Copies of this chain bind each other. A is one copy, B any other.
């Protein structure tokens, strides 16, 4: 991939779009040498579409088909076609709540990233902040990783640490992790767009982890 030009990013999301906003704003601010070329959602009413349109970014919903946790074959083919039409170099998942399968992974092999609200490999799967509270960890965080066939298991590009505090509820911890996500995701994608990140096997180089906000004194 030629990193001397601006990269073209597509975002897939199902929710409010706070990570999409962080990524889009970082592109506008020049912190990511790239452009968000389209935002697609399986949820027509998802805030992420509105947030994108407010910023002049093309945004569209698509019909995911009859399944709850994956896309129907036809839907997957449609999304792949749209991403190719948009000439997306990378697909950034931002709160996209469906599993992507083989055809999609092959179409954008090593070019799909996700952000997960824990320090993987701890707490893969849903509601990772609640899992962290239930397990009683003192430190959790968030992880940007390459998406492959293993759910939440692809090579890790960047992580940020977030403390769990004594008074935390699921809501307060989730909110603290999300703040860290909004810093981590743009900074990893920025490093990627600069060509700083190289991957060899499971080990990626070129991004230095940081402790997040709120560790306090």
**Which chain A residues have a beta carbon within 8 Å of chain B's beta carbons?**
119-123, 133-139, 141, 143, 155-156, 158-161, 163-166, 201-211, 215-216
Contacts and interface: CB of A to CB of B under 8 A. Distances in A.
Contact of A161 (B122, B123, B136, B211): B211
24 contacts: A119-B137, A119-B139, A120-B137, A121-B122, A121-B137, A122-B122, A136-B155, A136-B156, A136-B201, A136-B202, A136-B204, A138-B156, A138-B159, A138-B207, A138-B208, A139-B141, A139-B160, A139-B161, A161-B211, A163-B208, A163-B209, A163-B210, A164-B209, A166-B205
A143 B123 CA distance: 16
Contacts of A120: 122, 137
A141 to B, nearest CB: 7
- How many chain copies does the complex carry? 2
A161 to B, nearest CB: 4
Main secondary structure of the interface of A (DSSP, over half): loop
Nearest to A121: B122
A119 B119 contact: yes
Contacts of A155: 136
A85 B27 CA distance: 67
A134 B202 contact: yes
Nearest to A161: B161
B136 A158 contact: no
Contacts of A141: 139
